[in-house]
Amino acid sequence: MMDEQMHSGGRDLHGGGTASSSDIPPTAFKNFGPNVEGNERMGSGLLGSAMVLWGLRRHGITGALAVAVGVALLGRAASGYCAVKDAVRARPFTREVAQEHGWASATVTSAAVTIGRPKEEIYKLWRDFANLPRFMEHVEEIAVVTPQRSRWTVKAPLGKTVKWTSYVVEDVENERIAWESESGAEVPNFGWVEFRDAPSNRGTEVRALIAYQPPYGEAGRLLNTLFRETPAHQMRDDLRRLKQIMETGEVATSGMRES
Task: Convert the pLDDT of each residue in 136-154 to its tens digit.
Answer: 988 999 999 999 999 999 8
Mean pLDDT value across residues 243-259: 71
Q: Give the model confidence (pLDDT) of 182-207 as tens digits.
A: 988 888 899 999 999 999 999 999 99
Q: What is the pTM of this model?
A: 0.64
Least confident interval from 20-24, 31-35, 207-211, 236-240: 31-35
Predicted local distance difference test score (pLDDT) of residue 224: 52
Distances (CA, A) of 66 to 84, 106, 181, 201: 18, 35, 47, 53
